[in-house]
Chains A and B, each alone.
Chain A
Amino acid sequence: DQQVKQNSPSLSVQEGRISILNCDYTNSMFDYFLWYKKYPAEGPTFLISISSIKDKNEDGRFTVFLNKSAKHLSLHIVPSQPGDSAVYFCAASGLGGGADGLTFGKGTHLIIQP
């Protein structure tokens, strides 16, 4: 039973426009959420995170929004650039980070079209 869901396997966006990647979770014990970016043949790299005590976190072109009541978070990338083409994983953990690992979604393949 998936605790972190990314329902869009792929997303195509024109260069310069906004990319919005969505993630839903079911476990109420999750209190820390992260987004990872992955290029082919490389390991995932950390992009941005948000604690459950916040509803928004911004870092340059990347913003993560958290709606706790809906158990939903989203990653906004604006403006989208060709180098943003990658697989994006949503991840969650409990107890403020948790030494017992992250729970990942299945990923969304973002394709930025010129």
Chain B
Amino acid sequence: NAGVTQTPKFQVLKTGQSMTLQCAQDMNHNSMYWYRQDPGMGLRLIYYSASEGTTDKGEVPNGYNVSRLNKREFSLRLESAAPSQTSVYFCASDAETEAFFGQGTRLTVV
């Protein structure tokens, strides 16, 4: 049972480089989310998608873009990475009353 799968698990980028974090869920959930976790900050919502074809900004959307490719997949793109985007990124999908999280992507921007 895969649940929520994120790739890659680790990534190091240079400032200004771009990359896309991939997320897929196999639980047929409508809602999907991207969070970032920073030391002492808890998890903060970057973007969410309530259903296929819709996306909305969360608490900290600056510097990111998202694509809800289909019901299963929700990707997060950094167009020009900055050191402030060094963080652990978590994708999640929602079953209305419980969110299921992926294993996380640890991103370092140097």
Contacts and interface: CB of A to CB of B under 8 A. Distances in A.
Contacts of A44: 43, 90, 101
Interface in B68-101: 90, 92, 94, 96-101
A99 B48 contact: yes
B103 A106 contact: no
- Give the interface SS of chain A, mostly helix, strand, loop or mixed: loop
A interface, size bucket: 20 to 34
A48 B110 CA distance: 38
Contacts of B101: 36, 43-45
A112 B9 CA distance: 29
Given A97-B94, A99-B30, A104 B100 contact: no
B37 to A, nearest CB: 9
A95 to B, nearest CB: 10
B43 A89 contact: yes
Contacts, number: 64
B90 A101 contact: no
A107 B4 contact: no
Contact of A99 (B31, B44, B90): B31
A48 B101 CA distance: 15
A102 interface: yes
Given A43-B104, A99-B30, A99-B31, A32 B97 contact: yes
Nearest to B96: A97
A34 B42 contact: no
A101 B48 CA distance: 7
Given A100-B50, A101-B48, A107 B42 contact: yes
A19 interface: no
Contacts of A36: 101
6 shortest interchain CB distances as A-B pairs: A43-B101, A99-B50, A106-B42, A104-B43, A104-B42, A97-B96
Interface of A: 4, 6, 9, 32, 34, 36, 41-46, 49, 89, 91, 96-97, 99-107
21 contacts: A4-B42, A9-B40, A34-B98, A36-B101, A41-B104, A42-B104, A44-B43, A89-B42, A96-B96, A97-B94, A99-B31, A99-B48, A99-B50, A100-B48, A101-B48, A102-B43, A102-B45, A102-B99, A104-B42, A104-B44, A106-B40
